[in-house]
């Protein structure tokens, strides 16, 4: 993480307790489910990765610096970083999320929205991809009240390491099916 958008340094953090969303326990509100059924947004994967990162960094305070954006773009080009993008009927990017996949683990990094619930629908689409492709670990780094609404829990560092090691022994492909 960086201290700001302009920060040229990157710090490495490891939490004593780790936030994860158990894939089998993911949930969204009935309001989000209704918007999904209405087909208000179209989901695409990996079509505008850098733009999604730029939107996620477009906040008053952010940990996503240019160094991080450039580094993640290299991971994206190598096939390890992915974006889930939500477009409105006019083909405008209105929400999205991104993260990194290794083995059967996915490390969610950030999300944004410009339209109602578009970030949550991107998260729902991320869940569909993880669930349909055999992912075992969905890392959120930290537990927050916001992520708790989707089923996020907090586990010990030891339990996290166990789950991570297990997920890294398997292969999964991050693709929309």
For residue range 69-119, list pLDDT tens digits in order: 988 999 999 999 999 999 999 999 999 999 999 999 999 999 999 999 999
Q: Does the residue 64 lie in any domain?
A: yes
Q: How many domains does the chain divide into?
A: 1
Residue 101's domain comprises: 17-168
Rounded average pLDDT over 143-159: 95
Q: Does the residue 135 lie in any domain?
A: yes
Q: Does the residue 5 lie in any domain?
A: no
Tell me the H-state helices in the chain: 30-38, 49-57, 66-77, 118-132, 145-148, 157-168
Indicate the pLDDT class of residue 4, thresholds 50, 70 and 90. Answer: very low
Q: Does the residue 11 lie in any domain?
A: no
Predicted confidence at residue 6, as pLDDT, reads 54
Task: Find the CATH number of the domain harbouring 27.
Answer: 3.40.630.70
Q: Does the residue 150 lie in any domain?
A: yes
Q: Does the residue 177 lie in any domain?
A: no
pLDDT tens per residue, range 121-150? 999 999 999 999 999 999 998 899 999 999
Closest listed residue to residue 110, CA positions, set 83, 91, 130, 87: 83
Predicted confidence at residue 63, as pLDDT, reads 60
Q: Does the residue 7 lie in any domain?
A: no
- Cα–Cα distance, 111 to 57 (Å, whole number): 9
Whether residue 78 contacts residue 19, with contact meaning beta carbons closer than 8 Å, is answered with no
Indicate the pLDDT class of residue 56, thresholds 50, 70 and 90. Answer: confident
Q: Would the pLDDT of 5 be above 50?
A: no
pLDDT mean across residues, the chain: 91
Rounded average pLDDT over 7-22: 70
Whether residue 50 contacts residue 73, with contact meaning beta carbons closer than 8 Å, is answered with yes
Q: Does the residue 24 lie in any domain?
A: yes
Predicted confidence at residue 10, as pLDDT, reads 45
Predicted confidence at residue 67, as pLDDT, reads 83
Indicate the pLDDT class of residue 65, thresholds 50, 70 and 90. Answer: confident
CB atoms closer than 10 angstroms to residue 126: 28
CB atoms closer than 10 angstroms to residue 150: 20
């Amino acid at each position: 993480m960086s201290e700001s958008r302009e920060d040229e340094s990157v710090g490495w953090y490891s939490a004593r307790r780790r936030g994860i969303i158990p894939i089998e326990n993911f949930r969204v509100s009935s309001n989000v489910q209704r918007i999904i059924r209405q087909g208000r947004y179209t989901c695409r994967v990996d079509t505008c990765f850098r733009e999604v990162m730029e939107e996620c960094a477009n906040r008053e305070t952010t940990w996503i610096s240019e160094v991080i954006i450039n580094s993640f773009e290299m991971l994206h080009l190598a096939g390890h970083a992915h974006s889930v993008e939500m477009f409105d009927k006019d083909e405008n990017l209105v929400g999205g999320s991104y993260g990194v996949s290794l083995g059967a683990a996915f490390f969610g990094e950030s999300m944004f929205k410009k339209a109602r619930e578009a970030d949550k629908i991107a998260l729902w689409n991320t869940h569909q991809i993880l669930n349909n492709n055999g992912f075992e670990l969905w890392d959120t780094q930290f537990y927050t009240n916001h992520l708790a609404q989707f089923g996020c829990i907090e586990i010990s560092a030891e339990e996290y390491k166990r789950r991570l090691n297990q997920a890294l022994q398997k292969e999964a492909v991050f693709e929309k099916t």
